[in-house]
Chain A
Amino acid sequence: MASGRRGAGLQYVWISGGMFLLLGILFYRAAPYPLNAGQWLSAMFSPDVTDYRQIIVHFTFLPRLVMALLCGAGLAVAGCLMQYVLRNPLASPTTLGVAAGAELGLAASLLFVPASLGIGHYWFAFLGGVAATLLVFLLTAKRGFAPLQMVLAGMVVSLFFGSLNMMLLLIHEQQLTSVFIWGAGALNQNDWQGVTALLPLLLFPAGILVLLLRPLSVLQLGEEVASSVGVKVAHLRVVSLGLGIFITAGIVSQVGIIGFVGLVAPALAKLLGARHLWSRLLLSSGVGALLLLIADLVIQPLSGVGGELLPTGAVTALIGAPFLLWLLHRQAFVSSLKAEEEPIRHYHPRSFRMLLTVLSVMTIGVLLLATVAGNSQAGWQWTVSETLFDLRLPRVLVALLAGMGLALAGTVIQRVTGNAMASPEVMGISAGAALALVLGAMAGWTVQRIEQMALGTAGALVVMGLIWFSGRRHRFAPTQMLLTGIGISAALDAMIRIAMSSGQENLKALLTWLSGSTYLVAGQDVILMLAGVVVIGGALLLLQRWLDVISLGEVIAGSIGLSCQRVRQALMLLAAMLTALATIVVGPLSFVGLLAPHMARSLGQYSARQQLVVACLLGGNIMMLADWVGRNVWFPWQFPAGLLASVIGGGYFLYLLRK
């Protein structure tokens, strides 16, 4: 025992020694000018204003590094707190809608708040972030702020706000160029104001957090125990999440979206052996601060390559993702990630047949509406000419089929992984396809539709291969698969954000496709989608028993003679194929895949067959309706179906949650 301790101690000495050396080298490389020690000191405390090198060190280099430390530590603490309270290792500071809310607040203030008011746009970003989370709190209050409900509400609010924001971006692309840079998290500073503004926003919640540590750590023993010793669990949860949100909103409003630190740092702290809440918080903040500092030091000398900015936030995700993937191979990390989900307590089954009838009638109705009714220069028209019919029908049908396919994929993924936050997007396939296109555009390639599809397919296939390869090593265990997917998507998303922050016109042209649009679809796409949905959907219905059993857990599934690994492998492959297909045809926004399965459940469909069928019809209807609204309401402008689907589906889902 004692020797083990000493071994561990020595290990820490090595690690911290190495860390200091690394930091020293990075610092030396990143420093903008080779100043001597005396100049450094004076640059730090009393810069010589006639020497611009000292001014740069004092007003840009140093505040930027301090900012990196503060943001890293803050996000890590927020992440740690959220993962603890929500009992989900995938929760991160942006989970509860903070980032999306802040982005919307910023964009709206840039457009609608006159500069003469003299209120910094940062404040609107902050308010937006807090407002989004308040919405999440309101929605979940009735259920006593149950973790699963909160996470879901957070994701839906994020999607909802995110798509509203994207709509603003699409209309006011030029005015909002700065939002793209903000969205990639640039740490650039021009004075110490950012630091002085952020510091109180961090210290205030940190102070309260210290007071809350005792009651909070009782939560570790479980809700029942905690309430039996007199802790008001729901109150505590709201207050501590509120603190996390406050910290995140402060940081996000100042520097933009910085991915991954809040997710990885707490996980690393756990891995490093922090057991108690206080040690986890403390260690997380240290790890987070270091991570962001290192990332920023690595990035600074590279900025300017290719004429691009390389915003730190996005690059952090880019570096953090492979790191997460590497961690996945370590048993210690794997075992610390046991699902901490709560089981459903009450079932409210409803008649499947009734619902099926209603939904089928609805599908036909929406199909007719979307094909026949359309806006035009002369106003609404309720008949359709042959030319318009030819243009319209493929879009309507592809929307229907894509919605169906994604809903099926989502149902499968959520059942197999047992994680309610899982959606086809988390597999990274959509991001893979998107990245391939973005890289193509960055290279200046002129791609027509068919080449675009080929590029998308290539990207999707590469990611599928990656997931397959790493999945095999874990016997396709659900948590690892999810994390692999999240890691890959985060890295690819980061690259897309970096690309977008460059503000190149041809990249912005991809924004509509990236939001999930039926604009480009043609007749052959309908056939492709139809074949895919019928064949794979049929296969899934045949495999419904697997889907039922697999969600009971590995032990039960194994005891009735099911090879879990094989089954997962087969099911995930089918889901991946559906996702890839839909992504290639309509673009990467596969949110229907998250919502539709949940909606099916809230409509009382629990068995695999019922959930599959109902989710599938719901998904198809949402996408068709979204596509129709997007095509007509803002005529002649159009919004991508994916965006409107988030608004419509998200709105409906929020309504369901409220009940």
Chain B
Amino acid sequence: MLLMLSAGVSAKTYQHELGTAELSAPPKKVVSLDWVLTETLLTLDVAPQAIADVSGYQEWVSLPVLPEGVVDVGSRREPNLELLAQLKPDVILMSKHLAPAYEKLSAIAPTLVYSVYSEKKAPYQQAEVITRQLGVLFEREAKAEQVIDATRERLAQNGQRLKTAGMASHPLLIVRFIGDKHLRIHGEGSLAQNTLARMGLKSGWAHETNLWGFSSAGMEKLAPLQQASVVYFGPLDEQVQQTVFNTPLWRAMAFSREKRVYELPAIWSFGGLKAAERLSEQVTQRLLAGQQS
């Protein structure tokens, strides 16, 4: 009933990954159930009414800063349907990884499905596409183009800076430590590798990766690639750091002996354009700073 009423005069039809949805443009009350989409909304200066897992966003994605007063609708896996129904949003945004709930959500409000991470395994490109789509949805096409261009430019610039500083010779291994014995190494299909490619840098990891663009491996898998430099996502548990960096294996590797190991701040490894930009900024800063010391 509600849906038909709201779809009154200025209704438009939007294509998305699981079908089409009709809604009045531009929607005012937006709920985003996916962190990448939240990140993208905020880069377009659209403040969501509610998002899933507010504290998780603040800890793991951190930037762009979430404005005050955004309602928390619960976990990203099972956002609270009753609360959503009470919020009466104009549109709900989700990724297809929440597909089983699509039917339930679209009964509450028109629901649009956009996924940065999918079997296409080209998250950077996908993030640009989705930034444009959201730009159209919220009538911020110009802003979207500006974000896309600025990010591209930034990445190219950063790459150039590293090249002129002579820091682009070693391939980079972008990793996340999982406990003190395992790693996730970002490779083909990861935002990290896409970003490196746009910066004109080489990624050191050429092995098979999963849908999200990383491989899980033991530390010994780095040995044959020790000529590369290692960049790891922080913050890293102090204890893990102690254990890992003091193992004979780690100490024997070339990147550790030659002090080519760099820590990044919290950057969401499954983010969008903003995350890519931050990654490129941080990598550039760390590599240049490391060179000075």
Binding site for B on A (CB under 8 A): 32, 49, 52-53, 55-56, 58-61, 110, 115-116, 118, 120-121, 170-171, 174, 177-178, 181-182, 186, 188-191, 303-309, 374, 376-377, 387-388, 391-392, 442, 444, 446-449, 452, 501-506, 508-509, 511-513, 517, 519-520, 522, 631, 635-638, 640
Contact = CB atoms under 8 A, between A and B. Distances in A.
A222 B82 CA distance: 59
Size bracket of the B interface = 35 or more
A190 B249 contact: yes
Nearest to B185: A307
Nearest to A511: B77
Contact of B249 (A60, A391, A504): A60
Given A115-B238, A638-B75, A309 B207 contact: no
Interface in B222-255: 223, 226, 237-240, 244, 247-250, 252-253
A181 B181 CA distance: 10
Contacts of A182: 179
Nearest to B113: A446
B208 to A, nearest CB: 5
Contact of B71 (A377, A388, A503): A377
Interface stretch (B6-14, B101-109, B148-156, B284-292): B101-109
A511 to B, nearest CB: 7
B219 A452 contact: no
B83 A376 contact: yes
Contacts of A306: 208, 210
Contacts of B220: 32, 56, 60-61, 188, 190
16 contacts: A32-B220, A49-B248, A59-B247, A60-B220, A170-B77, A171-B75, A174-B59, A190-B218, A191-B247, A191-B249, A303-B217, A304-B207, A309-B218, A446-B97, A448-B103, A503-B178
A513 B81 CA distance: 16
List of 8 A-B pairs having minimum Cβ-Cβ separation, nearest first: A178-B179, A307-B215, A636-B74, A188-B218, A115-B239, A115-B238, A636-B80, A309-B216
A29 B8 CA distance: 69
A512 B77 contact: yes
Interface centre among B73, B98, B99, B209 (most CB of A within 10 A): B99
Interface in B78-108: 78-83, 85-86, 96-104
Given A189-B181, A519-B101, A503 B249 contact: no
Contacts of B100: 447-449, 452, 513, 520
Contacts of A635: 74, 80, 83
Nearest to A513: B100
Contacts of A189: 181
A49 B221 CA distance: 17
A453 to B, nearest CB: 9
Contact of B226 (A52, A59, A640): A52
Interface of B: 17-18, 56, 59-60, 71-83, 85-86, 96-104, 117-119, 178-182, 184, 187, 207-212, 214-221, 223, 226, 237-240, 244, 247-250, 252-253, 270
B226 to A, nearest CB: 7
Contacts of A387: 85-86
Contacts of A59: 247-249
Given A170-B77, A503-B184, A636-B72, A52 B83 contact: no
B216 A181 contact: yes
A520 B101 contact: yes
Interface centre among B60, B73, B180, B220 (most CB of A within 10 A): B220
Given A52-B223, A304-B207, A504-B212, A636 B248 contact: no
B182 A181 contact: yes
A638 to B, nearest CB: 5
B252 A502 contact: no
Contacts of A190: 180-181, 218-220, 244, 247, 249-250
A186 B219 CA distance: 12
A115 B237 contact: yes
Nearest to B246: A191
B130 to A, nearest CB: 16
Nearest to A635: B80
A449 to B, nearest CB: 5
Contact of A377 (B86, B97, B216, B253): B86
B81 A391 contact: yes
A309 B103 CA distance: 35
A98 B103 CA distance: 41
Given A376-B82, A448-B103, A636-B80, A304 B221 contact: yes
B75 A170 contact: yes
Nearest to B81: A391
Given A60-B220, A638-B80, 11 more contacts: A178-B182, A181-B216, A189-B181, A191-B249, A304-B221, A307-B214, A308-B210, A374-B82, A387-B86, A449-B103, A636-B73
A391 B100 CA distance: 16
A165 B210 CA distance: 27
Contacts of B211: 442, 444, 504, 506
B96 A446 contact: yes
Given A448-B99, A509-B98, A636-B74, A307 B248 contact: no
Contacts of A171: 75
Given A55-B252, A178-B178, A306-B210, A501 B60 contact: no
A509 B252 contact: no
Contact of A307 (B216, B218, B223): B216
B220 to A, nearest CB: 4
A456 to B, nearest CB: 11
Contacts of A303: 217-218
A506 B78 contact: no
Contacts of B244: 190
Contacts of B187: 307
Contacts of A513: 100
A638 B78 contact: yes
A93 B239 CA distance: 30
